[in-house]
Each structure stands twice: as C-alpha cells, then as structure tokens.
Structure 1
C-alpha cells in the first residue's frame, strides 16, 4: 500500500511552522500541499522544505480535496490540516488501517479516547451539531458496519479507488460529510481512531459556523432526496 500525505493550507504559516517539522516524512510515499492562495508565506515556507505546493484552480474545500486526488500518485491519500491542533504523530496511524483493508479512515474527536476542543465547555454547539449529522447520516444511509461519529473532521484518509467510486461534488464545503454518507451507501469499509483536538495556534477558521452549517444541512437533505 503506497500512501500520500496531503497538507491542506490557506494562510496557515504559524501552524505549518509548528506541525511540519514534526512530520516523519519517511512514513509516506508522497507528500504535497494543496493551497488556497495563501498570502502569509505558507507557500514559500513549504517550498523551502521541499514540499511541492499546488495552488487549487477552484475555490472551496471540496475543490481542494478533489484536486488532491487528481494529483495523487499512490493508493490512498491522507488529509492533514496544519493548525497545531492535533498530534502530528497521528498521521502515522493511517497506514496500518489502510493495510488492514479499510477504505475510509477518520481521526475522531468524538469516540472513546478522543477529545474535542469543546469538551471542557458547558455549551458545545459544534460537537452537538456534528453528533446530529452523524446520527442523521447513519439513520438514512448506513446499511451495515459501524457508525462514523466524527463526520466533519477533515483529518482523514481514503483510498483512491473508493474516492473515485463515491464521486463527490467538486463544489461547496460538504466533502467530509459526503465521504461518510456515500461510504454508507457504497458499503465501504470504514473505521475511526481516537485523536485529541486543542484550539488552533493562530488565525481563525475558514468556515464560519452558521453559513457552513446551513450548507451542510442542504447537502444532507439533497443526499436524502437522491436515495440510493
């Protein structure tokens, strides 16, 4: 099994300077970055480290992920967002699971042993929304196998064969949820392993909560209407 690590960036220079030196590059057969037109030195920093950087031709998270698979030259691809918020060493947990035959592997904040950055708060809007989407997706689409509880964590990987099979949209921000819903429909082999999340080191999320949440609900309704 040959595996690619794809670093997804958009103005993440501080996170990159923290995370990238901690990567064990020899653990992967290919490493590159897909960048959303960073202006803070992220591109230059990664290039100096010898990591190829491809500027995504279209805007959006879905477009970045689809483009990453187009550039991938291996059997499976892992997405990593360098925000300084998850253990970099967890990037090395994917290979064993891919080699065990899993098609979709997700680093989960919401299973036993995992930690969501909201876990120390009384009000956990984001975590509750993710749990709602996880339950709704399972109710409508799961035929067999385990429920995926962290349907929106972008720290995940999928085999190239299966990504082509699920044929996700190249538009919007629903890619993480699409991968789960369509893996249920296609009866793909999936698994989560626990990871711990802390607040990002710097900057703000590129995905505002309310607009992004609404887009995800619209996607889910559209997928339900499609049926099988």
Structure 2
C-alpha cells in the first residue's frame, strides 16, 4: 500500500484541542501528506496544524460542505482520506478504508461507525436519528448503506475530481454518497471505531437532521429520476381505483356517473404513463451514468499514459 499516493484532508473549525493529536496519529501510521482546510477558526487550530507539519489553507466560504468542495479542487493525490479534526476517528482505521481502493474493488469507502462506537460517542437522540436517516436513505435509494453520515471516507481521484458538491453544511456526506452512486462509481462500507468527542459538537440534531432528510429527498433525481415520479403515478392509480370502485358499485345499483367514469379512466391512464416515463428515465439516466464513469476512467488512463 503506497501511502505517498494518499492525501489526508481534514476540514476544521476551532479544533485546537484535537487537531494536533489527530495529525500525530496519522503521521504515526505513515501518512505524511496532510491537508487542513480551515473554516476561519478563532482559536489556535491553524497554528497547531502548521507546527505539526500539515499544509493549511483557509477556506474562502463557510460550512463543512464548502470546505470539502474547495479541498477537492486544491488537492491532486491519487487517493484522499476525508476525516474530521475532532479526534473521533482513529487513524489506525485509515488503512481499512484504503484497502478496497488499492485492491480495486471500490472507488469510495465509508467507515461505518455504528458497528463499534465508544460509550458516550452518540447521544440517544443522535443514535436514533442516525438510524432513521439511514433507513430513509435505503428506502428511497435502494442501496444497502448503513452509515451515510460518517465523516471518515476514502475516495479515488477519478471520483473526488468529478463530484459536483452544492451543499454547504453537514449535508455534504449525504451529497458525496449520492454523487458516488449516481455517477456509477463503486461504494462499500467497512467497520471502524468511533470515539467520544472531547468538546461540544457543532451538529444540531434536529435542525441539521431535518436538512439531511430534505437533502436525501431533494437529491433523489440525481440518482433515480423515476423514483421522484413513481409516487405521483401510484397516487393517481390509487385515486383512479378508488373512484373506479365507487363507479362500478353505483352502476350495479343502476346509478351512472359518466363524468366520474371519465375521470377514473384519465387517472388510471395518467398514473400508468407517469410510472412508465419514470422507468424509462431511470434506464436512460443509469446508462448515461455508466458512460460518464467510463469516460472519466478513460481520461485518467490517457493522462497516466502521457505522464509515463
């Protein structure tokens, strides 16, 4: 495993208590290319990071999502590890994340915290919220992932250079996940340890939780346009069948409802058409995603050949 090809990206905001230890841990594991993207900390975060040998840049905007998007543009390593600077993620688990990438079985690896976490690492509300959000994601996207909010990830260059991140806050992990699967890249989870945070969390469970759930729904068209259309088609079909049952029931009692019968027919036909259009949109979208991924990989291969 060539760790010289790996850059560790750490987004920070007032993490002076943990950033030094976090950098030391990664250096002890053999990671020397460490990049801190700081959100204008008012404490000694940047000073400590520079003393520990990390490259430090101050982000031009605000929010974790904006920091990650900016870091992806500034870094050019073959593989990156994305990790929080609060000391909750052990550096010793980094190689677990890299292993599937170096074995060429994944392009994006997520550290699943929910398998093995330290007592007190999650409040009951946070743990419950995490499980609900992950369930909603699996329900909407049909992808078996169990910790989409994890801040510990490894990504191949072809992927992190192609993602289009628009969310500026803590929704970035959700958007990274959706961008990965929508562009046809391979994604897996590996179990990691998760430690209790030393200071106060910047995450608001209710406010940020609602934003994340909204993001899951709003990003659905990026992955599967049809899944946005299917509910409307099913609602039309349901209403058509309800009105149809009523029309037939009344007809047996020698009462006719001509206009309602027409409406029933229109609802059923429209519902079927919406579902069919959704299915066609899904097929076309997934074919385009595969083509885009192949083109990205081909472009990277051409670049490697030119460099050699």
Bigger radius of gyration: 2
How many corresponding residue pairs? Answer: 220
Change (3 A) 1:29 1:141: farther
Unaligned runs of at least 5 residues, structure 2: 226-308
Q: Which has the higher contact order (CA 8 A, sep 6+)?
A: 1
Aligned structure 1 segments of 4 or more residues deviating by more than 6 angstroms: none
Relative to the length of structure 1, the TM-score reads 0.85
**In proportion to residue count, which structure has more helix?**
2
Query: Which residue of 217, 222, 227 maps to 2:218?
Result: 222
SS in 2 for 1:14: coil
Task: Go from structure 1 to structure 2 and tell me whether the alpha carbon gap of 1:167 and 1:117 turns closer, same or farther (over 3 Å shift).
Answer: farther
Say if 1:96 and 1:135 are closer, same or farther in 2 by CA, change over 3 A: same
The residue that corresponds to 1:110 in the other structure is 114
RMSD value, Cα: 2.3
Cα distance between partner residues in 2 of 1:117 and 1:182: 32
Within-5 A mapping of 1:55-204 = 55-101=58-104, 102-111=106-115, 114-115=116-117, 117=119, 124-142=124-142, 147-201=144-198, 203-204=199-200
Residues of 2 paired with 1:79 and 1:218: CA distance? 23
Asked if the contact 2:33/2:54 (under 8 Å) is kept, the reply is no
What is the CA-CA distance between 1:182 and the residue it aligns to? 2.9
Larger mean Cα displacement after TM superposition, 82-91 or 8-17? 82-91
**Bigger CA drift: 77-86 or 47-56?**
77-86
Residues 33-48 of structure 1: pairs in structure 2 closer than 5 A = 33-48=36-51
Contact 2:25 2:90 in 1 (8 A): no
Q: Deviations over 1:194-225 (max 9, x none)?
A: 11222212x21122112111211221221235
The normalised TM-score by structure 2 is 0.65
1:153–1:83 distance in 2 versus 1, CA, 3 Å:
same
Equivalent residues of 2:38, 2:58 under 8 A apart: yes
Matched, 1:206 2:202: yes
Residue 14 of structure 1 deviates from its aligned partner by 1.1
Structure 1 residue runs of 5 or longer lacking an equivalent are: none
How many angstroms apart in 2 are the aligned matches of 1:118 and 1:148?
A: 23
Over 3 Å counting, the alpha-carbon distance change for 1:104 and 1:211 in structure 2 is same
SS in 2 for 1:37: coil
Give the secondary-structure state (helix, strand or coil) at the position aligned to 2:66.
helix
